[in-house]
Structure 1
């Protein structure tokens, strides 16, 4: 959370002329705010909704290469992990100092109630091994504007052995995204 997955994902999708889907935004659109889901139905219900949403997005993206932004907890679901094997997964890496500044500006995250940075560090410590295991690419987002990071990420994806061939294929309008690019960041709801 607060790493920039939505902004960077949108920038990458724009560069690649590919669709962009933010799974958290889809959940909010179809089920109401994440905070309300947590408060009214609990984290378990949210995770079930999240897993179904991610599965539908990945299945829909099979025919159309897509940049997908996932919430940080989405990757903890074993079914989601299996689906991500079809995607090029990018782990957006950032430092606690940068995240702290961003979290301070947005306090409406249910899993960060109380001491946000302490909760963030706990979640990150638990989730980091999963992110690293699933990632095809670890991408540092600490320095640079969104457009610079988007260009750097596109370059890094082109350098991936399996991504290079997929990006090099031309579609009618633009280079294709390697399979689907699923962006996940250090911690999300």
Structure 2
């Protein structure tokens, strides 16, 4: 079993929203690894960061991604930093990965003050820039396809990904 598509990208790219819209188009289910971690621990991502630190969360996240890649056959949305784990990178090379690319200004506008995003507390814009600068090369390297989300609605992004999936499936 393998997901139809795996969505990656920075906070504010629209991964979760697009995943639901795309799954509706494809008639399949959605899985979000952040939700998986929260369910398995009984804690929010933010609480895990605060109480146990980022390294602990990243270990839980890597395990959740590996499990989801084995068990899920629908649309899979990963947390923004999931791609940083070397084991996750290896696993994603065998998947159809779509990088939802978002500019700094659009991402900062979408995440607001980042109150429920632990890595974005404080100066959202500066932190977001650092995250994008560090992660963009990894997203680009792992991506089968890239869709720039800045000026598109979630429905538009889902339609574009749906089209890319159909084109990929055509021999």
| Bin for the TM-score computed over the shorter chain | 0.7 to 0.9
State the distance in 1 between where 2:100 and 2:12 align: 10
Which secondary structure state, in structure 1, belongs to the residue aligned with residue 31 of structure 2? strand
Tell me the CA shift for residue 149 of structure 1: 2.0
Matched, 1:112 2:120: yes
For the pair shown, the structure with the greater C-alpha radius of gyration is 1
Q: Which residue of 1 aligns with 2:49?
A: 38
Matched, 1:86 2:86: no
Tell me the CA shift for residue 7 of structure 1: 0.8
Q: Which residue of 1 aligns with 2:71?
A: 60
Provide, for residues 71-90 of structure 1, a one-character-per-residue CA deviation record: whole Å limited to 9, x for no partner: 11111111111111221000
Provide, for residues 116-167 of structure 1, a one-character-per-residue CA deviation record: whole Å limited to 9, x for no partner: 110111111111111100000011112232222211210122223xx435xx
Provide, for residues 78-106 of structure 1, a one-character-per-residue CA deviation record: whole Å limited to 9, x for no partner: 11111112210000011122112112154
TM-score normalised by L of structure 2: 0.88
Matched, 1:5 2:4: no
State the distance in 2 between where 1:156 and 1:148 align: 12
State the distance in 2 between where 1:94 and 1:50 align: 22
Which blocks of at least 5 consecutive residues in structure 2 are unaligned?
Answer: 1-10
State the distance in 2 between where 1:88 and 1:21 align: 15
Which secondary structure state, in structure 1, belongs to the residue aligned with residue 170 of structure 2? helix
Q: CA RMSD of the aligned region, Å?
A: 1.4
State the distance in 2 between where 1:82 and 1:164 align: 26
* Matched-pair contact (CA < 8 Å) for 2:12–2:102: no
Aligned counterpart in structure 1 of residue 133 of structure 2, from 125, 137, 158: 125
State the distance in 2 between where 1:128 and 1:148 align: 22
42-51 or 20-29, which deviates more: 20-29
Aligned counterpart in structure 2 of residue 19 of structure 1, from 26, 29, 39: 29
Provide, for residues 163-183 of structure 1, a one-character-per-residue CA deviation record: whole Å limited to 9, x for no partner: 435xxxxxxxxxxxxxxxxxx
